[in-house]
Amino acid sequence: MSVTVWTPLLLLLLLWAGPTFQDKNMRVSAYKGIGEMCRYNSECQSDCCVTNSLNPQKFCTAQTVFLECVPWRKPNGFLCEENSECHSNCCIRTSSSPGLFCSSKTFFMQCISWRMPEGAVCQHHLECWSLCCLPLSENNPSSRCTKRTGLLALCLPI
């Protein structure tokens, strides 16, 4: 075969091999595959560079059916500061301790925070299961969770 026939074939093979660039005398593929470490979406073939665990390092991942890049989120029981950190999208207080934790939503898709029982010291109505936080007496400035009273079950002082 002549040289003129081999030249187009060689060019086709080079183009098929994929785009490359030179970086400090190293030949590196321009796009990274699924599972490779990355910093930016543009580095990945999938155009998705997200976290996939508690480790803050990002990795190339596949896009969803809706062409979205969805980062890993914390499962139930992990400490959190805001809803978006959790897989359930629900970051709430789950016990008497002041910390917030990822928790599942109710059957009606609500995030309902743990509330204190009757008699517990409180500062606001929303802290109590009864939604009623009142001072025990005029002389005692500390408030406690109390039962709702009256025909309409209102939060009324005794």
Mean pLDDT by 10 residues, the chain (158 residues): 53 50 48 91 92 86 89 89 91 84 88 86 88 84 85 74
Asked whether residue 120 falls in the same domain as residue 143, the answer is yes
Domain that holds residue 41: 29-72
Cα-Cα-Cα-Cα torsion 34, 103, 92, 118, nearest 10 degrees, comes to -170
Kindly state whether residue 156 falls inside one of the protein's structural domains: no
Asked whether residue 68 falls in the same domain as residue 37, the answer is yes
Q: What is the pTM of this model?
A: 0.55
Kindly state whether residue 81 falls inside one of the protein's structural domains: yes
Kindly state whether residue 10 falls inside one of the protein's structural domains: no
Place of tokens 């980062």: 71
Kindly state whether residue 11 falls inside one of the protein's structural domains: no
Give the whole-angstrom CA distance, residue 31 versus residue 49.
12
Kindly state whether residue 91 falls inside one of the protein's structural domains: yes
Cβ-defined contacts of 140-146 (< 8 Å, 24+): 144/119, 144/120, 145/115, 145/116, 145/117, 145/118, 145/119, 145/120, 146/118
Kindly state whether residue 1 falls inside one of the protein's structural domains: no
Adjacent-strand bridge partners of 51: 58
Asked whether residue 82 falls in the same domain as residue 53, the answer is no
CA-closest candidate to residue 102, choices 132, 133, 74: 74
Give the whole-angstrom CA distance, residue 73 versus residue 54.
8
Kindly state whether residue 100 falls inside one of the protein's structural domains: yes
SS3 state at 50: strand
Residue 25's pLDDT is: 45
Kindly state whether residue 157 falls inside one of the protein's structural domains: no
Report the domain count for the chain: 3
pLDDT tens per residue across span 92-125: 888 877 789 999 988 888 888 888 889 888 888 8
Boundary of a domain, candidates 72, 104, 128:
72
Asked whether residue 36 falls in the same domain as residue 64, the answer is yes
